[in-house]
Structure 1
Amino acid sequence: MSTTDGAPPRLRVAMIGYGFMGAAHSQGWRTSPRVFDLPAEPEMAVVVGRNAAAVSDAAAKWGWAESATDWREVIGRNDIDLVDIVTPGDSHAEIAIAALDAGKHVLCEKPLANTVAEAEAMTDAATRAAARGIRAMVGFTYRRVPAVTFLRDLIAQGAVGRIAQVRASYRQDWLVDPEMPLAWRLQKEHAGSGALGDIGAHAIDLAQFVTGMKLEKVSGVVDTIVKQRPLLGAGSGLSGTAAEGYGEVTVDDVAIFTGRFEGGVLGSFEATRFATGRKNALSIEVSGDKGALAFDLEDLNTLSFYDRTAPNQTQGFTRILVTESEHPYVSGWWPAGHMLGYEHGFSHQVKDLVEGIVEGVDPHPTFAEGLQVQRVLAAVEQSSERESAWVRVGAEAMTPST
């Protein structure tokens, strides 16, 4: 980090990739230092992409000082402090490991990688880098929706008592139309997995984050509902054998599984891109012996709370509007009652990352936490291949569990 007399140190950022997530991350880098009193000033130094004209346009639109087409050259620059990775999953490991070994802090979009082996290598690189004061974080941004963080805090304070059951799902409908083209997210070599890894990873991380418990074993099934889709056309950069203008979908469209947390708590999970009418419905409900808490991203400023200790005649789910200054992150924004949106989580992500770097502590979720999610994803796929047999998460994932 560079410093100027009397000013906070500057943290020069290079973002690799410039698609949908590039726009969201750029919003976070632009806005966070204008809202929160950060201990270092992020500087949007350079955005990197393969198409020189397109990435130049992205730089101008989103506020990056310059653009480039060679991520290796950018990582080797002495004036870059942090690398933000928003590329498809097949390049996460190579870029993150190179950046960490070069002494750059790293923010990497989820899921951490396409395979457990890649995620393990990335976590090893992060551990080596941490010994030199270099920090790494995974972009599970929904943790930073104020209502989700507050839900986690309430559970930790005992609001639901002893947890008995967890239900988590992420439902979208953008693939219901069978004529939706074959994008990179539908090809295993680029995306790693489909609904399971893309959105199911969020549900898994959310459940582990709010409960403080890790999943230990899973039993589930994944399925591909539409097995061929129209090709995007020549020059798309996607692989696949054309069959009268169609290519194979090589990832799942839907994943449904059951999981056992530490201590035996049972959880149910669903990730699907075929939930007709559901646009971005990430939801979680945690039930305990004293109460229950529920959240739905399609109503992201509220929580539902059931207090079982209240008198019978007043029991019922209460709607909590999470917009007060006492709620997580909210004090930096608007007066009480004014709503936050999807994009605010990316500003909160920047805040937590920058504070961790300056304070010399690992910001969460760490690469190790990302690896845990990757192991759950792998265990679900293995279970599906074995007719939904229970499979342990982690080192024993290759052996069916009893």
Structure 2
Amino acid sequence: MRPAVGIGMIGYAFMGRVHSHAWRSVGAFFDLPLKPSMVALAGRSAAATAQAAEKLGWAHAETDWKRLIDRDDVQIVDICTPGDSHAEIAVAALQAGKHVICEKPLANTVAEAEAMAAVARAAAERGVHAMVAFNYRRVPAIALARQWVAEGRIGQIRHVRAQYLQDWIVDPEFPLVWRLQKDKAGSGALGDIGAHIIDTAEFITGERLTGVSALTETFVKERPLAASSAGLSAGGGAGTGTVTVDDAALFIGRLSGGGLASFEATRFATGHKNALRVEVNGSLGSLSFDFESMNELWFHDHTLPAEEAGFRRILVTEGGHPYAGAWWPPGHGLGYEHSFTHEVKDFIEAIAAGTGPEPSFDDGLRVQRVLAAVEQSAADGSRFTTVEGS
């Protein structure tokens, strides 16, 4: 009999739904040292939270996240709220002796991330662990890319090209949701999807960004107020509000190993829904990945004769590929949700082993410092802004 570990989750929107699916499914496909128990879900509305708990598979509903943390039957707190609440919840949970998994980006500011990382380091000394949820690390093709880079298959890293392309707010009538408000989201495309490609590039290469030069832009500066926050104007209409985050961010950077990198994060790439793309060029070869074909990794072996050289497609569904062996027969592809299942699998295994899960809050802090350097460079026109702590 495996000991149970109680999970309490805060937030039940997009991320809450996919995290719930991960907690429900992980034990059916992986032999875990602990059995996850979906104890409680927290949200602000009693009726809506109760409905979400029943639908998503949680045993209890709470309307105060502090009560969820206080529950004796909760040992892991899963934070799926907007960034403005991450620091308060994570610090309280860690200080209460609960393990924490927190959605990305870790916080809205470097100062918040520093405080969270400091509390996480102190908690780890007591055997309480924390992880930031960069789920794309757990895509089998990306994990395989990291493995091959670490094995020296592509040699010294010379270039990284990373893009995250979406188009979901191209329509100027799309409402002013929380992701478009700096006080709630911290930043726009930069923090929401740019954070992912920063972490993915550093994860695959094993190197760090040491400095950046950036441009950001907000293409649609006023949007209709969202129904949940719209107050009636004097004329009786819902009115509009100011978009206070970026719609797109472009930046170049230098890697700690001397290579060069370019990054593009935008919500205005018409025709692209969720195109996280990374290409790494090394002295011995190259690797290329596009999440819209997430089961494929493209590999070029530059040590072959020119007559045989070129990119070849690797279908990353074999039993020996990272994570893939737990699922379906070769060729039966995985989807977006599987990366979250892999994420909680790794988290539970680390907790059971008493080791620090990755990416840690310190890893999340490092990404936060890159985001801050990008914002600073874009704001003051700096040709090169050094990443703090690099």
Superposed displacement of residue 395, structure 1 = 4.9
1:325 — aligned with what?
A: 319
- Relative distance call for 1:371 and 1:236 in structure 2 (3 A) is farther
- Cα distance in 1, alignment partners of residues 317 and 339 from structure 2: 14
Matched letter for residue 294 of structure 1: S
Question: Which string of whole-angstrom CA distances, capped at 9 and with x for unpartnered residues, describes residues 295-333 of structure 1?
Answer: 000000000111111121111110000000000011111
Q: What is the Cα-based RMSD across aligned positions, in Å?
A: 1.4
Normalised to the residue count of structure 2, the TM-score between the two structures is 0.97
> Which of 360, 363, 367 pairs up with 1:366?
360
In structure 2, distance between residues paired with 1:45 and 1:234: 29
Confirm whether residue 382 of structure 1 aligns to residue 376 of structure 2: yes
Q: After superposition, where does 1:165-314 map in structure 2 within 5 Å?
A: 165-233=159-227, 235=229, 245-314=239-308
Residue 4 (structure 2) pairs with residue 10 (structure 1): yes
C-alpha separation in 1, matches of 2:253 and 2:228: 42
- Cα-to-partner distance string for 1:170-214 (whole Å, 9 max, x where unaligned): 010001111000000000000000000000000000000000001
Report the Cα distance in structure 1 between the residues aligned to 2:310 and 2:4, rounded to whole angstroms.
50
Mean alpha-carbon deviation: is it higher for 243-252 or for 57-66? 243-252
- Consecutive unaligned residues of structure 2, counting only runs of 5 or more, are none
Q: Classify 1:175/1:235 alpha carbon distance in 2 versus 1 (closer, same or farther; 3 Å).
A: closer
Q: Give CA deviations for 1:90-123 in whole Å, capped at 9, x if unaligned.
A: 0000000000000000000000000000000000
Say which SS state the counterpart of residue 107 (structure 1) adopts. strand
Distance of aligned partners of 1:123 and 1:234 in 2 relative to their CA distance in 1, 3 Å threshold = closer
Name the CA distance, whole Å, in 2 between partners of 1:236 and 1:56: 25
- Which residue identity is paired with 1:46? A
Matched, 1:54 2:48: yes
| Gapped regions of structure 1 (runs ≥ 5) | 1-6, 397-402
Which of the residues 114, 130, 133 maps onto 2:127? 133
CA contact (8 A) 2:230 2:238 kept: no
Structure 1 counterpart SS, 2:2: coil
Question: Of 102, 111, 114, which residue of structure 2 is paired with 1:117?
Answer: 111
Q: In structure 1, what is the Cα distance between the partners aligned to 2:81 and 2:11?
A: 5
Mapped to 2, the partners of 1:151 and 1:388 lie a distance apart of: 33
Q: Please tell me whether the aligned partners of residues 103 and 129 of structure 1 are also in contact (alpha carbons under 8 angstroms).
A: yes
Residue identity in the other structure for 1:393: V
Deviation at 1:232, TM superposition (A): 1.2
How do 1:136-151 residues align onto structure 2 when only pairs under 5 Å count? 136-151=130-145
How many angstroms apart in 2 are the aligned matches of 1:244 and 1:95?
A: 32
- In the TM superposition, residue 78 of structure 1 has moved relative to its aligned partner by 1.6
Residue of structure 2 in register with 1:84 after alignment = 78
Checking the alignment, whether the CA contact within 8 Å between 2:158 and 2:258 is kept in structure 1 is no
Q: State the SS of the aligned residue for 2:245.
A: coil
Q: Distance in 2 between matches of 1:377 and 1:179?
A: 28
Between the aligned partners of 2:324 and 2:349, the Cα distance in structure 1 is: 17
Scaled by the length of structure 1, the TM-score of the pair is 0.94
Tell me by how many angstroms 1:358 deviates.
Answer: 0.4
Q: CA deviation at 1:263?
A: 2.6
Deviations 1:317-376 (A, max 9, x none): 100000000000111111111110000011101110000000000110000000000000
| CA apart distance, 1:244 | 7.1
- In the comparison of the two structures, how many residue pairs are matched? 386
Q: Residues 230 and 239 of structure 2 are in contact (CA less than 8 Å); yes or no, is this contact kept in structure 1?
A: no
- Whether 2:67 is the aligned partner of 1:101: answer no
Q: Cα gap change, 1:234/1:210 in structure 2, threshold over 3 Å: closer, same or farther?
A: closer
Give % identity: 59
Structure 2 letter corresponding to 1:155: V
CA distance in 2, matches of 1:377, 1:202: 11
Cα distance in 1, alignment partners of residues 226 and 144 from structure 2? 42
User: What amino acid maps onto 2:337 in structure 1?
Assistant: E
